Amino acid sequence: MFAVTGMVRRDVILAMRRRADVLTTLFFFVIVAALFPLGIGPEMATLRIMGPGVLWVAALLASMLSLGRMFAADYADGTLEQMLVLPQPLSLLVLGKVVAHWLGSGLPLVLLSPVLGLQYGLAPDVLKVLVISLLLGTPVLSLIGAIGAALTLGLRGGGVLVALLVLPLYVPVLIFGAGAVEAHSSGLGGEGHLSLLGAFLLMALALSPWAAATALRISLD
């Protein structure tokens, strides 16, 4: 287990010494969320309907943009190569990296989302469901994204390519994440959606570290 915790510790320390990266993701999220009302118009009624979907898409894009950072630096300086010859299961090390990545890119989005939700006129109870759905959904995005990031390691045009690879796979998370908020605000109750998101999270936790580890071994071959 210290493979996971050790990796999280290391990457969190690194992220703390490179705070700018975390802030970039956060600013991107804020800017995208702010652009939509400018494009659609300031009617609160429309924005209230679009809010959950827009915030979810913005969070999804922000988390996707930060995927490049997950392995790229370690790949460039050779520490990733060292990780592959450590006497630890690579999938656990990858899991540690994903958790750290989520702490630096997913969690800040979750924490900031209620503020942006207010801009869209979302009611407090709706905001609560939004936060819970992002809390369950953004780790899935990081987990799936890890596979894409590992596959595109060191390729030219990797950033655009990773979008093409992972965005289709993000569809279920988006549907149930935004759907939970919408179901709640329309009075249907978002619990069903949220428990499915939870199921996605468990499935992604079980499968994607292994797939990403395999992808890393392929990419460094």
Interface residue list for other proteins (CB under 8 A): 2-3, 6-7, 10, 13-14, 17-18, 77-79, 81-89, 93, 147, 151-152, 155-158, 161, 164-165, 167-169, 171-172, 175-176, 179, 183, 200, 207, 211, 214-215, 218-221
For other proteins, the closer CB: 25 or 152: 152
Closer residue to other proteins, CB minimum distance, 33 or 211: 211
Instruction: Closer to other proteins by CB, 3 or 112: give it.
Output: 3
Nearest approach in angstroms of CB 144 to other proteins is: 8
Least separation, in Å, of the C-beta of 118 and other proteins?
A: 26
Structure tokens at 20: 């700018």
CB 95 within 8 A of CB 207: no
Count of C-beta atoms within a 10 Å radius of residue 167: 16
Min dist CB 218 to other proteins, Å, is: 5
Nearer to other proteins, 40 or 160 (CB): 160
Q: What is the spatial distance between Cα 37 and Cα 209, in angstroms, rounded to a whole number?
A: 37
The nearest distance, CB 2 to other proteins, in angstroms, is 7
Residue closer to other proteins by CB (options 26, 183) is 183
| Minimum CB–partner distance for residue 42 and other proteins (Å) | 25
Crossing angle of helices 68-77 and 90-119, in 10° steps, is: 140
Contact status, residue 39 vs residue 61, Cβ threshold 8 Å: no
Rounded to 5 degrees, φ, ψ at 75 are: -70, -45
For residue 184, what are the contacts with CB-CB under 8 A and spacing of at least 6?
A: 125, 126, 129, 190
Task: Give 13 or 35: the residue with its C-beta nearer to other proteins.
Answer: 13
The CA-based angle 165-167-171, given to 5 degrees, is 130
Compute the least distance from the CB of residue 112 to other proteins, in Å: 25
Q: What is the dihedral of CA 170, 178, 71, 80, to 10 degrees?
A: -80
